[in-house]
Amino acid sequence: MDELLDLDDAERLAQKVVPADAWSYITGGAGDERTLRWNREAFSRFRLRPRVLIDVSAISTETTVLGTPVSMPVLVAPMAFQAIAHEDHELAMAQGAAAAGTVMCLSTVATATPSDVAAAAPDGSRWLQIYVFRDREVSDEVIAQALDSGFSALVLTADLPVYGIRHREARLGFEAPEGNVPAIVAARARGGETDRHHALGLLEPGLQWDYVTELRERWKVPIVVKGLVTAEDALLACQHGASAVVVSNHGGRQLDGVIASLEALPEVVEAVGDRAEVYLDGGVRRGSDVVMALALGARAVLVGRPAMYGLAFGGAKGVQQVLEILRDEVENALALLGCRSAAEVTRAHVTQA
């Protein structure tokens, strides 16, 4: 961990300790992995416009998301099967996120229960990501346990009606540790069947927008819709009561050829206006990437793979270190941009190349 200066170092350290098949799942994308590359490359297609001779002797990276204070505009994205990276899995991820002062999103298909995650990091802020099972009672039980354990929002992943074609995983023979996933075990116990794409056969492929309204009305917590890249879907999310949306293409893991998240961000921000918060997911590796997303209208970003890298090589401490590197880089970028806080970053601070 002493070698760690930036998130590229974190990736190199993680690759040394993660088996090749698991690494293919963590880092791979769909098809030819064009969208996976574009998510990162999109940041080179915008340019920051710093202002100078501004007093930046005091900088704050703090902000709020859905009213929750966080130490920086960086959240931990939901990621499945974290036991493939580290024996302490989601428990360590939650501890690292809490130590860094930010929100962790727990996947429905986690290798730890919501109550165990809450017990491991009782002072942390947590949201639950939702995959909806064909047997809705399974999903409802996970949601109820999470909310009883202090989770404060539900994040509905909307871009996985079917599983993306992921050749890298297939070539390396990755197999999901489904027997260690409480929600999948529960679904199977109720008679659910899987198909060749892990547990996809257990999930509901027929979700529609009315489920967003149902979630909001039944559970009485903020609903975040994750996995949209168009103004049309952003408008529908608002119309159905979403408190926030995440501009995301699932990390390039679903439909290859989809627009990069950063390039989709401006049209979603314009469509949403002040009706919901907008977050970005995909390709963030630097603090300057974070402030670029803020300038294009995001309130915060989510990072997935970098947090998983930290988990892999260092458990909770590794997660914390990765997040604190990003926080330090955000602070530096804000100062050099001429902004004393995330709230001061505006559209005037960025231009398209």
Cβ atoms of 331 and 77 closer than 8 Å: no
- Residue 240 annotated in active site: no
Helix, strand, or coil (residue 105): strand
Look up residue 53 and give its two tokens.
């001779």
Cα 129 to Cα 104: distance, rounded to the nearest angstrom = 10
Q: Among candidates 40, 46, 155, which has minimal Cα distance to 108? A: 155
Cα 253 to Cα 305: distance, rounded to the nearest angstrom = 12
Q: Out of 89, 198, 250, 349, which one is annotated catalytic?
A: 250
Q: For residue 126, report the phi and psi dihedrals to the nearest 5 degrees.
A: -135, 140
Amino acid identity at 39: N
Cβ within 8 Å of residue 52, ≥6 positions away = 338
Q: Among candidates 229, 252, 263, 247, which has minimal Cα distance to 353? A: 263
Token match 């202090």: residue? 150
DSSP H helices in the chain = 7-15, 20-27, 34-41, 89-100, 114-120, 136-148, 167-172, 182-189, 210-219, 231-239, 261-272, 287-295, 305-337
Cα 306 to Cα 156: distance, rounded to the nearest angstrom = 22
Catalytic residue list? 250
